[in-house]
Structure 1
Amino acid sequence: MTAPRDKLLLLDTASLYFRAFFGVPDSVRAPDGAPVNAVRGLLDMIARLVVDHRPTRLVACWDDDWRPAFRVAAIPSYKAHRVAREVPGTTGEEEVPPALAAQVPVIVEVLAALGIARVGVPGYEADDVIGTLVAREVARPAAQRAAVGVVTGDRDLFQLVDDAAGVRVLYPVKGVKDLTVIDQAALAEKYSVASGQAYADMAVLRGDPSDGLPGVVGIGEKTAAALIHRYGDLAGVLAARDAHDRGLTATQRQRLHDAAAYLEVAPMVVRVAPDAPIGDVHDALPHQPADPAALGALVARWGIASSVNRVLEALEVPRA
């Protein structure tokens, strides 16, 4: 009898706790009045994900650097509009609501006490952590490879979708009760691209104002997808540009020439790193808290018993 396949859930944690913060009323507070809506919302999301998807492995992926120097060096406008105004310099801290920023250390402590793996790497974003862990899983022999679900509200990670390798994105519509499964069929239906790699190439051409990526002027999503479909990939589009291929209009060819400097560096900004320096990750779903005493103290301090107990019940361990 074939053993059931492992399931690995990779959480784009900041994406989820931002959603929790804005989705759970700020009237949800600790005994001392401090807001804990993001903490409780994230824990409730994790409990729901574990119940609904029954992973055997789970990692809370972390932004140790939300605006890495290597991306800023390539494209200085990368996320520049999100830098907190009071922080000097071209890099700096992300502008985060103070009530949310105060909860992030609590989230760190609770995840540690529960024994849920949390992985970040200096100089890299959570997207890169996810990309690296996906690449590691895909590199395993097929018989040992887990089915991977990437839970994120960030479309950038659609580039990791790979049906053959069993990698899907679970995209929240409202909370995590209603997740849209993004596979290659969904990419074809929504964006007219055939694969995660094609999505990344399309995203380079299209750009993304929310990340400060200009794209190629005059080439929007539909045109970008059509060019990738016609020429196979971004390299094929650029080869057609240089060869004066008649499938490109004179205007498109000129716009691609005008954007040559951007197109030279944009792929390494848009594409997630597959090789961030991550050590061994102990990502097995815990069946008991790593530190019950610390967890009990956190529950009492922050008044989060109901949310912690939902996680423990999902993990099928005794209540806190």
Structure 2
Amino acid sequence: MTDRIMLLDTASLYFRAFYGVPDKVTAADGTSVNAVRGLLDMIAKLVSTYEPTRLVACWDDDWRPAWRVDLIPSYKAHRVVEAVPVGADVEEVPDPLEAQIPLIRKALAVLGIPVVGAAEHEADDVIGALATHADVPVDIVTGDRDLFQLIDDERGVRIVYTARGMSNLEIVDDAAVLGRYGVHAAQYADFAVLRGDPSDGLPGVSGIGEKSAASLLTAHGSLDGIRAAVADGSAGTPSQRAKIAAAADYLDVAPAVVRVARDLTFAPFDDHLGAADEPAAHALAERWNLGSSMTRALTALDR
């Protein structure tokens, strides 16, 4: 079997599990466990379908890093719970999901799946660093299109895209990005900077939409190429040049916000499948009514 590492955008998955599995799924004491069971079922399906030999649960140690907010204050601002102390941004998470996160970590631990995060960085950055330095092909499991920037056909880095649900998983490679957006994966971060993304609070360049952004990148290769062409008067239309010139302050800082980190270092961890503690896993399943979901995960991981 060919070695392949699977990197989970863990929060993306457990949010999807929480909203996809009925909240009537509870432990004996009435605690909701729908997100935990849903995540275990996702892991079982992903491992069975794509057959990785290594698996990492990438974690948001900081879901809204201050250094990104300093550059673009609107970054993820709409997701912040109001009335919290300055410097203590708290992401809006439904209480029944918040209560399950410690149990999710316990379930991952007994399955032998390392949880890897990095101070002052998001899971996207952890994924970026691990994917960039992997010595084997990489499957990145996410519903976040920002990670399309990491796709690299030559190195075997691809996205297992969950946006249409676990029953409609999609493999996204460079051809898929090009077909969908008109840019290559290597251009996707610059494309996102130009277009903006309301879901992350990124304003983009006013008046530059997806088609204009793709056309400019096709003509000039990169954001730096576009800005140089604006400066010498050769980029796009006069209106587009004016809009890009007017957004100079935003364009000076946005790439650092949009591009994921690729140079993080981590303490050693073992990401090979087969390290599950089965007695502990069964005990945890019994205590929290994880039942067949835990069994399916154990079976998939013990190939």
TM-score by length of 1: 0.91
- Find out whether 1:158 has 2:155 as its counterpart: no
Specify the SS of the correspondent of 1:285: coil
- Find out whether 1:129 has 2:120 as its counterpart: no
CA distance in 1 between counterparts of 2:231 and 2:88 reads 35
**Matching residue of 1:141:** none
- Find out whether 1:289 has 2:276 as its counterpart: yes
2:168 to 178, 200, 224: 178
CA distance in 1 between counterparts of 2:137 and 2:131 reads 10
2:54 to 38, 52, 57: 57
1:114 to 111, 114, 119: 111
CA distance in 2 between counterparts of 1:109 and 1:170 reads 25
CA distance in 2 between counterparts of 1:240 and 1:178 reads 41
- Find out whether 1:316 has 2:302 as its counterpart: yes
Structure 2: tracts of 5 or more residues without a match: none
**Matching residue of 2:100:** 103
**Matching residue of 2:75:** 78
**Matching residue of 2:250:** 262
Say if 2:282 and 2:294, in contact at 8 Å, map to a contact too: no
Specify the SS of the correspondent of 1:66: coil
**Matching residue of 1:302:** 288
Specify the SS of the correspondent of 1:64: coil
Specify the SS of the correspondent of 2:204: coil
TM-fit CA distance, 1:90: 5.6
TM-fit CA distance, 1:173: 4.2
**Matching residue of 1:248:** 236
Give the alignment of 1:203-218 within 5 angstroms.
203-218=192-207
CA distance in 2 between counterparts of 1:248 and 1:263 reads 17
Say if 1:12 and 1:126, in contact at 8 Å, map to a contact too: yes
CA distance in 2 between counterparts of 1:309 and 1:174 reads 26
TM-fit CA distance, 1:51: 0.6
CA distance in 2 between counterparts of 1:241 and 1:174 reads 38
String of CA shifts for 1:38-60, please: whole Å, max 9, x gaps: 00000000000111111000101
Specify the SS of the correspondent of 2:166: coil
CA distance in 2 between counterparts of 1:93 and 1:297 reads 32
1:238 to 227, 230, 236: 227
TM-fit CA distance, 1:174: 4.2
% identity of equivalent residues:
56
Query: RMSD over aligned Cα, in angstroms?
Result: 1.4
Say if 2:36 and 2:103, in contact at 8 Å, map to a contact too: yes
Say if 1:80 and 1:91, in contact at 8 Å, map to a contact too: no
Runs of 4+ in 1 over 4 A off after TM superposition: none
Output the amino acid matched with 2:66: A
Specify the SS of the correspondent of 1:158: helix
CA distance in 1 between counterparts of 2:88 and 2:257 reads 15
Output the amino acid matched with 1:315: L
1:69 to 66, 74, 78: 66
Say if 1:206 and 1:220, in contact at 8 Å, map to a contact too: yes
String of CA shifts for 1:16-72, please: whole Å, max 9, x gaps: 000000000001111111100000000000000111111000101000100011101
CA distance in 2 between counterparts of 1:60 and 1:177 reads 21
**Matching residue of 1:46:** 43
Say if 1:24 and 1:37, in contact at 8 Å, map to a contact too: yes
String of CA shifts for 1:65-123, please: whole Å, max 9, x gaps: 00011101111110011001132326511000000000000000111111111101111
2:9 to 8, 12, 17: 12
CA distance in 2 between counterparts of 1:174 and 1:227 reads 29
TM-fit CA distance, 1:278: 1.8
CA distance in 2 between counterparts of 1:205 and 1:281 reads 37
Pairs aligned (count): 303
CA distance in 2 between counterparts of 1:199 and 1:175 reads 23
CA distance in 2 between counterparts of 1:175 and 1:252 reads 37
- Find out whether 1:169 has 2:159 as its counterpart: yes
Structure 1: tracts of 5 or more residues without a match: 138-144
String of CA shifts for 1:188-232, please: whole Å, max 9, x gaps: 1100012x2211111011111111110100001111011000001
CA distance in 2 between counterparts of 1:183 and 1:202 reads 16
Specify the SS of the correspondent of 2:138: strand
**Matching residue of 1:225:** 214
1:21 to 6, 18, 21: 18
